[in-house]
Amino acid sequence: MPTAKQDLQALTKLGAKAEPSRSLEVFPNHAPGKIAVTLHCTEFTCLCPLTGQPDFADIEIVYTADKFVVESKSMKLYLETFRNVGVFHEHLAVDIGEDFVKFVKPLAVSVTVKFHVRGGIAIDAQWEWKR
Active site residue 55: yes
Domains and CATH numbers, the chain: 27-130 (3.30.1130.10)
Catalytic residue among 7, 41, 46, 55: 55
Catalytic residue among 7, 48, 66, 95: 48
* pLDDT on residue 6: 83
Contact 45, 56 (CB under 8 A): yes
Contact 8, 74 (CB under 8 A): no
* pLDDT on residue 56: 97
Task: Express each pLDDT in 72-84 by its tens digit.
Answer: 999 999 999 999 9
Active site residue 41: no
* pLDDT on residue 54: 95
**Nearest 5°: phi and psi at 116?**
-70, 160
* pLDDT on residue 36: 97
| Residue 72 three-state SS | helix
Taking the C-alpha atoms of residue 111 and residue 15, their distance in angstroms, rounded to an integer, is 27
Asked whether the predicted pLDDT for residue 8 surpasses 80, the reply is no
Task: Express each pLDDT in 32-83 by its tens digit.
Answer: 999 999 999 999 999 999 999 999 999 999 999 999 999 999 999 999 999 9
Asked whether the predicted pLDDT for residue 18 surpasses 90, the reply is no
- Give the model's confidence band at 130: pLDDT under 50 very low, under 70 low, under 90 confident, else very high: very high
